[in-house]
Amino acid sequence: MDYMFASDIHGSAYYCRKLVEEYRRSGADRLVLLGDLLYHGPRNDLPRDYAPKKVIDMLNELKNEIYAVRGNCEAEVDQMVLEFPVMADYAVLALGGQTFYVTHGHIYNPDRLPPMKAGDVLAYGHTHLLQAEALNQYYVVNPGSVSIPKGGNPPTYGILRGQEFLIMDFEGNLVKKLAFSKA
């Protein structure tokens, strides 16, 4: 099974549409959303085609295919309009032979790790900076930001395909790749 990972849509209908198109084209079985879905927050400029109601509609169409965690911009009102759970601070998923600790990154991140065993994967967003690397005895992946990337990066998302985590841009280019060793 393949899984798509995305973070920090921030209400951009333009990039949410691109994400949904890539998700359908990819053949991934689930879309793992790492928070900050609807609102841009006070530190960010408005993203392209800022339209949270359109994002709500696009994501709700995929409600049975989404695993999501709460970002620092999510609020209880978001759960009232989204038809899939979005208020958990983290999820633990067994994917492709690896244990993934999935979170937004504002609570747990590479500088403040959650309880993890050697070989586990921390998947987070929040920084808008893509990352895919082995860190001590763990793996750390951040698909970057769908709509407001930082650090000179393009808008990106991640694909877990077997034992590899691929970070892709919306032009179909591989930006970064990480291979996991067998758990």
pLDDT in tens, 116-150: 999 999 999 999 999 999 998 999 999 999 999 99
pLDDT tier, 60 (very low <50, low <70, confident <90, very high otherwise): very high
Higher-scoring residue by pLDDT: 42, 174: 174
**pLDDT given for residue 79 in this prediction:** 94
In CATH terms, is domain 2-179 a member of 3.60.21.10? yes
- Which residue, 14, 56, 61, is CA-closest to 38? 56
Q: Using alpha carbons, list the distances in angstroms from residue 115 to 86, 134, 167, 182.
A: 21, 16, 25, 20
* pLDDT tens per residue across span 13-33: 999 999 999 999 999 999 999
**Domain limits, the chain:** 2-179
- The answer to whether residue 76 scores a pLDDT higher than 80 is yes
* pLDDT tier for residue 42 given thresholds of 50, 70 and 90: confident
Neighbours of 114 (CB within 10 A): 15
Residue 41 pLDDT:
79
Mean pLDDT calculated for residue range 142-169: 97
| Alpha-helical runs (H) found in the chain | 13-26, 52-60, 76-81
- Of the candidates 67, 68, 69, the residue with the CA atom closest to the CA atom of residue 1: 67
Number of H helices, E strands in the chain: 3, 11
